[in-house]
Structure 1
Amino acid sequence: MVDQNIVSDLNKQADAANLVGMLEKIAQQFQGKAVFTTSFGIEDQVITDMIFNNNLDIKVVTLDTGRLFEETYKVFNRTVDKYGKMVEVYFPKHEAVQKMVTEKGPLSFYLSLENRKECCNIRKVEPLKRALAGNECWITGLRASQSENRHDLDFFVWDAGFQLVKFNPLLHWSLEDCQKYVKENNVPYNVLHDRGFVSIGCAPCTRAIQPGEDFRAGRWWWENNSKKECGLHTHQE
């Protein structure tokens, strides 16, 4: 089992100018126990390109909530076609989804914050727990500028909830940096980004944002007093 004290050493060794090198070190250090979770957003596509193009020993997995946009499935398909690599899929447990929808209807998440978090937990958090089980390092596409909750992140943090190291290689990248990388390297990306969607999740819970709106304004847009997180990234240390 990984020791959380390793986080300090990893941050001291972090080299923001050489992200591929950092990913290579993670693959070597954790030897088959490093996993990257992608939702096929533009940040995740940057990291996927780095992992697949360099044949790194890092598992790439995704959570299929059953409520994704058609455009997300299309970029998933284009990604697999381009790199010829496997993206492992984790679905929610069908019994839990059936029970929730049967008892509360298909749109219960609009009715209360409690209902929305229940849906996120069933469709995303529980599958993530299975995806992370047995791993020691979780690689994410989080960026510091995405939300207030993410401003104070480090490259490496200890996730107490999942008991592993979390690595945020794109921490100091801007959205424009990601867009430039994708264009220059011909990386498949979700066309919803061209329509004002900056953060893309489940279709019923995501909308495009307007100029000047906060980055997370398009997620759970009907909520006013939420920190706009689904429970995957709570940054517990």
Structure 2
Amino acid sequence: MSNRTVDNHSPGDFGERPLSPGEIRQISKKFREKDPWEVLRWGAEQFGKSMVLACSFGYEDVALVHMLHRVAPETDIFYLDTDLLFPETYETRDRLAKALDKTFIRVRPEYSLEEQAKLWGEELWKRDANACCGIRKVNPLRRFLKGYSAWCTGIRREQSPTRAHTEVVEWDHQFGLLKLNPLAYWSAKEVWAYIREHNIPYNPMHDRRYPSIGCVPCTRQVQPGEDSRAGRWSGMDKTECGLHPSGEIKDRR
């Protein structure tokens, strides 16, 4: 399977018409106490091939991949390959692909690391992590999502204060399409129980105090008592890569 544009409805369409903000709120409220796979099934029924699941191969995402495989196995699943991922992340990808007989769409930045260094300098993530995330994550995602009407993520309200108001179904103003967060109201304990019940392959770094795993230069172990995302961009005034908060991160030269 390769990166491609698919035929779909206009963003936010529900059947033949756009969803209103009120309808989105009502749908989200309806699904708050439903199981996450019911949200995925609803999305697949409404949007078909114009729904896509984002996967970083963290524990929330591997659980969602398994759920989606149960209810709508033909749905596209993609990952953002920044060229800076941990070897364990790629290994988890391969183990999950083999277990579910699924191919994941690889979405890459416009620039290689070498090209980025020539344009913005070596190790941009140390000097301007926002710009680096914009180049290697946000802008590739923006280009890719233009082919879809809805996307699904593994973010949860419990993960951090910046995600505390996440809803199960919401309008993504940044990327201009519907966003499904089936695990929004689930706890980490519930996600891990699902993983263990179904023996789903997961990143072994989670067993070494890495609850949130991103790029190698910007991820460290989390110490006891710290927030689960404290290991991301440690020592920087940054808590998100820019995929989920509103506001555009642009390339800088």
TM-score (norm 1): 0.91
- Whether the aligned pair in 2 keeps the contact of 1:38 and 1:44 (CA below 8 Å) is yes
Q: Distance in 2 between matches of 1:80 and 1:174?
A: 25
Q: Counterpart of 1:53?
A: 70
Q: Counterpart of 1:19?
A: 36
Q: Distance in 2 between matches of 1:235 and 1:89?
A: 24
Equivalent residue letter for 1:88: I
1:32 matched to 2:49: yes
Q: Distance in 1 between matches of 2:30 and 2:73?
A: 19
Q: Counterpart of 1:132?
A: 145
Q: Could you give the per-residue CA deviations for residues 97-148 of structure 1, whole angstroms, max 9, x where no partner exists?
A: 444312444322212xxx2111101110111112211211110000001110
Tell me, what secondary structure is at the counterpart of 1:89? strand
1:207 matched to 2:224: no
Q: Distance in 2 between matches of 1:101 and 1:81?
A: 35
Q: Counterpart of 2:105?
A: 88
Equivalent residue letter for 1:142: I
How many residue pairs match? The answer is 230
Identify unmatched segments of 5+ residues in structure 1.
Answer: none
Q: Distance in 2 between matches of 1:161 and 1:55?
A: 26
Q: Distance in 2 between matches of 1:171 and 1:31?
A: 22
Q: Distance in 2 between matches of 1:47 and 1:145?
A: 16
Q: Distance in 2 between matches of 1:124 and 1:172?
A: 25
Distance verdict in 2 for CA 1:212–1:12, change over 3 Å: closer
Q: Could you give the per-residue CA deviations for residues 153-184 of structure 1, whole angstroms, max 9, x where no partner exists?
A: 21111111111111110011111111111111
Q: 1:110 aligns with which of 110, 123, 126?
A: 126
Tell me, what secondary structure is at the counterpart of 2:155? coil
Equivalent residue letter for 1:13: K
Q: Distance in 2 between matches of 1:181 and 1:145?
A: 17
Q: Could you give the per-residue CA deviations for residues 40-61 of structure 1, whole angstroms, max 9, x where no partner exists?
A: 0000001000111334442111
Moved more, 54-63 or 132-141: 54-63
- Whether the aligned pair in 2 keeps the contact of 1:53 and 1:83 (CA below 8 Å) is no
Q: 1:145 aligns with which of 158, 163, 169?
A: 158
Moved more, 204-213 or 3-12: 3-12
Equivalent residue letter for 2:67: M
Q: Report the Cα offset of residue 4 of structure 1.
A: 4.6
Equivalent residue letter for 2:166: L
Q: Report the Cα offset of residue 21 of structure 1.
A: 2.1
Give percent identity, aligned residues only: 37
Q: How does 1:126-205 map to 2 (within 5 A)?
A: 126-205=139-218
Equivalent residue letter for 2:170: V
TM-score (norm 2): 0.86
Equivalent residue letter for 1:168: N
Tell me, what secondary structure is at the counterpart of 1:149? helix
Equivalent residue letter for 1:87: F
Q: How does 1:198-237 map to 2 (within 5 A)?
A: 198-223=211-236, 225-226=237-238, 228-235=239-246
Q: Counterpart of 1:43?
A: 60
- Whether the aligned pair in 2 keeps the contact of 1:41 and 1:199 (CA below 8 Å) is yes
Tell me, what secondary structure is at the counterpart of 1:35? strand
- Whether the aligned pair in 2 keeps the contact of 1:4 and 1:164 (CA below 8 Å) is no
Q: Distance in 2 between matches of 1:184 and 1:212?
A: 27
Q: 1:101 aligns with which of 117, 127, 140?
A: 117
